[in-house]
Amino acid sequence: MAYQLYRNTTLGNSLQESLDELIQTQQITPQLALQVLLQFDKAINTALANRVRNRVNFKGSLNTYRFCDNVWTFVLNDVEFREVTDLVKVDKVKIVACDGKNQVNDYFSHSSLIIRPSQ
Amino acid sequence: MASSANSNPVPKLYRSVIEDVINEVRELFLDEGVDEQVLMELKTLWENKLMQSKAVEGFHTEEQAALQAAAHQQAQQAQQATQQAQAQQVLLPPQQQVTSWQSTRPTVTSAPQQQVIVQDPKILQHMSATGMSAAATAATLALPTGVSPYHQLITSQGNLSQNCYIKTADGQILQFVRAANGAQYIIQPQQQMVLQQQVLPQMQPGGVQAPVIQQVLAPLQGGHPQQTGVIIQPQQIVLTGNKVQQNAQVMQMPGQPGQVQQIQQQVQQVQQAQGGAAPGPPQQQAKQQPPMMLQVDGAGDTSSEDEDEEEEEYDEDEDEDKDKDGGEDGQVEEEPLNSEDDVSDEEDQELFDTENVVVCQYDKIHRSKNKWKFHLKDGIMNLNGRDYVFSKAIGDAEW
């Protein structure tokens, strides 16, 4: 299962809002909406992995850090994001990062037990 | 062209994701028995919200400029027309201007879509066929193309957003409808609108009547006693306010006199709630107010205080008679003081409410003393209200 991480983005939130509206007017069922969101997760994960090819550098000061359930959450202050083309400065930014190596755990977000086949 | 900057990859990426998702869920929709229309509506809603958020730059920029001019002209013309508007019945011509029902993408490259929320793929074909601007096309087609989706409107529990919307440069969402007499109407969401809908008891292919739009508050009682429905303002539809629920269900009901009264009452409630000056029947609700008003704002009256200070015997009698809340003289001065205790918090302490967020995956997080290094990948960033993406991000920070 793909990470549900990207649902809280502009793209993801607009999709959720649209689905909510359709549920409100009873044009779709909540079950169907959930299926759409799952499909969205797959699509956005694939798209980011395959269709995006750019690098960004950033520098700032770390305010807080948290590592829980294999998810890193940082809050940085006075950060500069630098791309080849332009520079973006922000006073505060929150970074939420899931493990990029294994995507197995996301579906069971509360489980810390990883069963690996022993050979 | 050595000077051309790198094009922003975000709009294309979002577009491709939307396309992928819509295509993948089409099967799911059909399995559930949900019509393709709803799928198209989902896509349209999705795209509109993206455009409205302004987080994506260049989502439809080139078409946007052309449409703005057209929308402005249409808006001016329609405003002039609406001032002349009265309650009218609209009869749709049995023949439709668009012939085919292909479920093509609403996003036709040649036709500007930025400010026209097109629900029906037929509209686009019409657009490209006649060469009209999207705004004009939406206006002209708002009613005729409302025929077939209107069928589904009635049968599939009312889909109010089948009409066409146009977003002007101000960001207002106006609903376009074209009456049979050629006049164009705009429904402006800020104004209190009561729309009359002709609901036929028998659904005949050629005899469906599209919604009638009135810009001014119109008494529902007059004019169409038999078949009257209510369509809520499009803004309410979009925001899915409470009233929409009531009236969305109203649309499902066939127009019968008994239910018309319910509709009228609901409309009156809507009007009342919005502070509109609806005539006649709302007075019935006004009668419910009790003739005696209990004063609950404290005993700060200036009328009889002078007498109270001199003769204390009167205080008890007057208090019992007037049934005010414990208004002793001492508290008169204190209450204004107490009211200063509230500390008003500034909710918007920052100019920009957007919290800058980066959602990504980490390859490696490294720390040495208080020096942190971040190796991130596949991220979407929202910084200062704008969206960015990256495949790799490397960062340094001191804690």
Domain ranges of chain A: 5-51, 57-117
Q: How many CA atoms lie within 13 A of B61 on its CB side?
A: 9
Give the pLDDT confidence of B152-177 residue by residue, as tens digits: 434 444 444 444 454 555 555 555 44
- Please tell me which residue, B1 or B53, carries the higher pLDDT value: B53
Helices (H), B33-100: 36-53, 61-83
Examine the pLDDT at B360 and tell me if it is beyond 60: yes
CA distance B327 to B331: 7
Q: Which of A18, A43, A93 sits opposite B358 (nearest CB)?
A: A93
Q: Which of the residue ranges B162-171, B235-244, B255-264 would you say has the lowest mean pLDDT? A: B235-244
- For chain B, what percent of residues have pLDDT higher than 70? 25
Average pLDDT over residues B324-330: 47
Please judge whether A83 and B38 are an interchain contact, meaning their C-beta atoms are less than 8 angstroms apart: no
Tens-binned pLDDT, residue by residue, of chain A (119 aa): 789 999 999 899 999 999 999 999 988 889 889 989 999 999 999 899 898 888 999 999 999 999 999 999 999 999 999 988 889 999 999 999 999 886 554 444 444 454 555 55
Question: Which chain A residue lies closest to B29 (C-alpha atoms)?
Answer: A32
Predicted pLDDT at A59: 93
Q: How confident is the model at residue B181 (pLDDT cuts 50, 70, 90)?
A: low
Predicted pLDDT at B172: 52
Spatial CB neighbours of A18, under 8 Å, sequence gap ≥ 6:
B42, B45, B46, B49
pTM of the model: 0.45
Question: Does residue A80 belong to the interface with chain B, where contact is any CB pair within 8 Å?
Answer: no
Asked if residue B264 lies in contact with residue B285, where contact means CB atoms within 8 angstroms, the answer is no
Indicate which of B366, B380, B392 best probes the interface with A, i.e. most A CBs within 10 Å of its own CB.
B380
Please judge whether A47 and B46 are an interchain contact, meaning their C-beta atoms are less than 8 angstroms apart: no
Q: In sequence order, what are the beta bridge partners of A61?
A: A77, B398
Contacts of B3 in chain A (CB under 8 A): none
Which residue bears the tokens 């956005």? A44
Residue A3, min C-alpha distance to chain B (Å): 10
Neighbours of B145 (CB within 10 A): 27
Residue A97, min C-alpha distance to chain B (Å): 4
Predicted pLDDT at A90: 92
Task: Classify each residue of B249-260 as buried b or exposed e, where b means 16 or more C-beta atoms within 10 Å of its C-beta.
Answer: ebbbbebeeeeb
Q: How confident is the model at residue B343 (pLDDT cuts 50, 70, 90)?
A: low
| CATH assignment, A57-117 | 2.30.18.10
Question: Does residue A104 belong to the interface with chain B, where contact is any CB pair within 8 Å?
Answer: no
Residue B231 has what DSSP assignment? B
Asked if residue A87 lies in contact with residue B383, where contact means CB atoms within 8 angstroms, the answer is no
What is this model's ipTM?
0.84
Is 1.10.287.190 the CATH classification of the domain at A5-51? yes
Spatial CB neighbours of B11, under 8 Å, sequence gap ≥ 6:
B56, B57, B58, B59
Predicted pLDDT at B335: 63
